Amino acid sequence: MAKSSVNTPSVPAPVETLTARGRKTRDALLDAARTVFETVGFPDARVEQISQEANVSYGTFYRYFESKEDVFRELSTRLFEDVHRREPTDATLSPAARLVASNRSYYQAYRRNARLMAIVEQVATFNDEFRELRHEHRRQLTERTARAIARWQEEGLVRAELDPTLAARTMAAMVDHTLYLWLIQGDEANEAALLDTLDLMCLGALGLEPDPV
């Protein structure tokens, strides 16, 4: 007997056209996909597993996503938006306080998303599309930091000899890799001491004095 084929649409319905029930199902698939990816990793994840985790049919998945790559792309974008949403809203903060607040916000988001971050970093090593996605979000982050550094240079608060873009990229790499080794690779460290050290290293690199305690 021939296997029955699954009749799936070639292009999932746009999110803005979905009903409230459709959005709920789509969100359930995103949650299920995250669980599957974090459990078995991206290479071994299957659409069937995601559908089962969301308690929907195999065909239902394709009403909302084209493939596991498609759902992983959206999860990755949401992840980066959460992790990189770190600009302090208090306009009265000094540059030093703003930098420390940004670092702590990034740390908290990284820790919240550490398991998925590990998968994203892994996939970026062998998948060109997701490597480019990772680069793009990192670029957005460093450009925002570079603009702040340039502004502080104009105000005479930060070392004038620094290239703002290179400084932003270097500090981001230091913070990012330190958190990766600690939260994902399992390097032992005292949390308070590690975060304080990261803050002091970033402030020192720019020539900013920490605010008095």
pLDDT category, 138, cuts 50, 70, 90?
confident
Q: What is the DSSP string of 118-163?
A: HHHHHHTTT-HHHHHHHHHHHHHHHHHHHHHHHHHHHTT-S-TTS-
> Is the pLDDT score of 213 beyond 70?
no
pLDDT category, 92, cuts 50, 70, 90?
confident
Residues, the chain: 213
77-206 is classed in which CATH architecture? Orthogonal Bundle (1.10)
Helix axes 114-123, 68-83, angle to 10 degrees: 120
Number of H helices and E strands in the chain, helices first, is: 9, 0
| pTM of the predicted model over 0.75 | yes
Contacts of 17 (CB under 8 A, 6+ apart): none
- Could you report how far apart the first and last alpha carbons of the chain are, in Å? 76
DSSP run (H or E) holding 191: helix 191-206
For the chain, give every domain's residue range.
15-65, 77-206
> Is the CATH number 1.10.10.60 carried by domain 15-65?
yes
Per the structure block, which two tokens stand in for 159?
């070392």
